[in-house]
Amino acid sequence: MPIFSKVGVIGAGTMGHGIAEVAAIAGYQVYLNDVSQDILNNGISKINWSLQKLKESGKLKESPEIIMSRMNPTTNLRDFMDVDYVIEAAVENSEVKKKVFSELDNIVKSSTIFATNTSTIPISSLAESTRRQDKFIGLHFMNPPVLMPLVEIIMGNKTSQETLEITVQFAKSIGKDYVIVKKDVPGFLINRINGRTFPEAILLYDEGHQKEDIDAMARFRLGMPMGFLELLDFTGIDISYNAALEAVKRGEKEPPHFKVLKKMVDEKRLGVKSGRGFYTYTSKVYERPKILPNDNMYSLNPLRIIAPAVNEAAWLIRNEISSPQDIEKGMVKGMGWPQGPLTFADKFGIDNIMNFLEQRYHETGNDYYQPDPLLKEMIEKGKIGVKSGEGFFKWNYERVDLGPVRYEKLHDYAKITMRRADKLNALNEAMWTGLAQAFNKAKEDREVRAVIITGEGRAFCAGDDIEMMHYWENTASVIEWSQKVSSPLIDTLSNYTKPVIAEVNGLAFGGGMELLILFDIVIASEDAMFAIPEGLIGALPPLASSVGVGFVSRKIARYALTGEWMSARQAKELGLVDIVIPPDQLEITGVEIVEKAKRVPPLSAMSIKKTINSIRNTYLDKLQMASQELVLLSTTEDFKEGMKAFIERRQPKYKGK
Ligand code: NAI
């Protein structure tokens, strides 16, 4: 519902005609002004075309003809005499804008509000060209105004609360959601954060990374609708360059990516419009660059993009420019981010964001990366995000220690950590039992959608602990060990109905590697090491040589029969590991995979898991057989010698008996 009757729009270019269309659709009488009749005619025919499209898709309540009857194109500003609200979308030149406003100031009613759609010029400096600074405000639309759901409302230094309230009502009346920027800062909210993310993509490119990998990381790891480089090409490299140049002219320090932009502009690599930017465009019609998910995207740390965005968001909050909620809304509705930067931060961990910024600051010496004091303060108060129950927002958090196993509920997933770092997280009785309890706890909690398992210290898990050697003394005790200690966990995992993600942080040997066969997604640090050396001590790896060979790969035979070590990449070739990642990305990649897994609804996930389990469990009789073999081996002299030599750290002397 219109909140008054007449709206004036200055400029009938890309933004102006779109804004006029939005206002007319909402029921306002619209006065659209430009310098020439030709430009106005062009704007009007574009509005007509757009209204027809909206009609065809059933999005109009009235006919295009009725809507157009409210449109009054004019080259004469005097026709604005009765308008209640003016939106200026003239060319981005402060002299032109100031001239228009000062002229209008003498034409319109004293109650009329002036809004400017400027992207870069301070609102307050434009307001000074009028005698109504209290009735002057920023109203920043996104392109195209008809389709984009959000506007930024920016307060000038002297904007009154009443002007803000009327503008909020106006935004609502034209069907737009809004964010409020309480102080007149360059870039407002969305472009301030964009001003931190786009440069990082450009710098990664300048450092020699492939454009497709950078964009693949943004799209397929962070879930952005477009890669940053393809989006830069789309909007025009010159636009970004000019925005950066304006900032430098205003006295801001030259941003680190400035030289790259300048070089591209000098070389006429302006993006889609010049046929070449980061990508090359051969067809006359715009075709999106082909960006495919690939392994290289895992070598690029998503924090390169997210950490500077969070730092900027923290600055906006600390300076009381925007609320956390508006920051999130701005980036989600304005830029199509899957979640706002603060939610990313809470999920990835404010500590990780902080460490990353400090490292970048240290590496580059550029105060562009200096962590905002708000982040430091949050860390001092223990507010590090989901894993502490509170960061920028509040989260459900629960922690229980089950012997050496820590169970944490991280809002909607669980993290299970093996915590015997001094023993390389070896599986003693308490560890086996604690793991079974933790997995069962996660299973019973309806809110838990996925489970992460990892190890503390330099190992994921070194396998069975020699402390349990007393179990291997005779047949009866081996059977008892299996029934009492290992089977409860193996049974639980064999029938588990939620996705299990392993973060392999270091060595995974013996039983530690074998358990991976029962997990669904294995992320390994690139310096992790794997082996199933049980054969070397006169035993056998029961899970690996049965379920492992059948369900994962025949190639496991090589490692079972030789005890050879393998790297994370070799384990990936085997099919045991899914993603190999630099060590500093392990934790955030786990979060990323949980986020992806949560897109599958719980019942589907359960059905998928049941099906997978049914296939994996067809090898359980082979595991039974392997367990019987282990019982037999446990009675041999070679087995005893193997154990003894292992404890005494010497070469065993095997006799084949
Ligand atoms: P444009 O160049 O397409 O249109 C500007 C229009 O202003 C032209 O039609 C021009 O003839 C007219 N004009 C120039 N002097 C005038 C005057 N004295 N009186 C009346 N009209 C005059 O530019 P565009 O892209 O529509 O941008 C307009 C404003 O919106 C700029 O301030 C820009 O920063 C801002 N903006 C642009 C966005 C975009 O994606 N293009 C997004 C958000 C804001």
pLDDT tens, residue by residue, 57-80: 999 999 999 999 999 999 999 999
Q: Is 318 inside any structural domain?
A: yes
Residue 133 lies in a domain: yes
Q: Is the CB of 138 under 6 A from ligand 1?
A: no
Instruction: Determine whether the shortest distance from the Cβ of 10 to ligand 1 is under 6 A.
Output: yes
Q: What is the pLDDT of residues 168-206, one digit of tens each?
A: 999 999 999 999 999 999 999 999 999 999 999 999 999
State whether 510 and 577 are in the same domain. yes
Whole domain around residue 492: which residue ranges? 397-586+596-642
Residues 6+ apart with CB under 8 A from 535: 541, 560, 561, 562, 563
Residue 369 lies in a domain: yes
Averaged pLDDT for residues 250-273: 93
Q: Tell me whether residue 561 is in a domain.
A: yes
The least confident of 386-400, 457-471, 525-539 is: 457-471
Looking at the structure, do residues 250 and 174 belong to the same domain, yes or no?
Answer: no
101 lines ligand 1 (CB under 6 A): no
Tokens found for residue 14: 């890309």
**Do the domain assignments include residue 1?**
no
CA distance 126 to 94: 7
- Look at residues 522, 520, 542, 548 and name the one whose alpha carbon lies nearest to residue 610: 520
CA of 94 to the centre of ligand 1 (A): 11
- pLDDT in the model for residue 380: 98
Does ligand 1 come within 6 angstroms of the Cβ of 34?
yes
Q: Say how many Å lie between the CA of residue 34 and the centre of ligand 1.
A: 10
Non-local (6+) Cβ contacts of 312 within 8 A are 192, 193, 195, 196, 341
Q: Is there a single domain that holds both residue 563 and residue 437?
A: yes
Question: What pLDDT does residue 326 have?
Answer: 98
Contact 298, 213 (CB under 8 A): no
Atom of ligand 1 nearest to the CA of 97: 18
- Same domain, residue pair 449 and 562: yes
Pocket test for ligand 1, best of 9, 10, 14 (most atoms within 8 A of CB): 14
What is the number of the ligand 1 atom nearest to the C-alpha of 91?
Answer: 5
- Residue 7: strand, helix, or coil: strand
How many Cβ atoms sit within 10 Å of the Cβ of residue 209?
A: 18
Q: What angle do CA 66, 70, 71 make, to 5 degrees?
A: 115
The domain tally of the chain equals 3
9 C-alpha to center of ligand 1: Å?
A: 11
Looking at the structure, tell me whether residues 298 and 214 fall in a common domain. yes
Q: Are residues 209 and 310 in the same domain?
A: yes
Provide mean pLDDT across the span 594-622: 97
Structure tokens at 184: 């007149």
**Pair 307, 449 in one domain:** no
Contacts with 288 (C-beta within 8 Å, 6 or more apart), sequence order: 230
Residue 430: what are its φ and ψ, rounded to 5°? -65, -35
**Residues classed as catalytic:** 119, 140, 152, 191
Q: Do the bridges between strand 397-402 and strand 405-410 make them parallel or antiparallel, or are there none, so unpaired?
A: antiparallel
Rounded distance between C-alpha atoms, residue 310 and residue 621, angstroms: 52
Q: Is 640 exposed, middle or buried (0-12, 13-18, 19+ CB in 10 A)?
A: middle
Q: Per-residue pLDDT tens for 609-657? A: 999 999 999 999 999 999 999 999 999 999 999 988 988 999 999 999 9
pLDDT on residue 478:
86
Q: Is the pLDDT reported for residue 502 higher than 80?
A: yes
Q: Residue 246 has what pLDDT?
A: 81
Residues 335 and 191: their CA atoms lie apart, in Å, by 10
Pair 128, 238 in one domain: no
Residue 214, domain member (yes or no)? yes
Asked if residue 410 and residue 262 are part of one domain, the reply reads no
Is the pLDDT at 251 greater than 90, yes or no? no
Q: What is the pLDDT of residue 285?
A: 85
| pLDDT greater than 90 at residue 257 | yes
Cα(12) to ligand 1 centroid in Å equals 7
Question: pLDDT of 470-485, one tens digit each?
Answer: 777 788 888 898 899 9
Regarding pTM above 0.75, the answer is yes
Say whether both 425 and 544 belong to one domain.
Answer: yes
- Which DSSP helix (H) or strand (E) runs through 581? strand 579-581
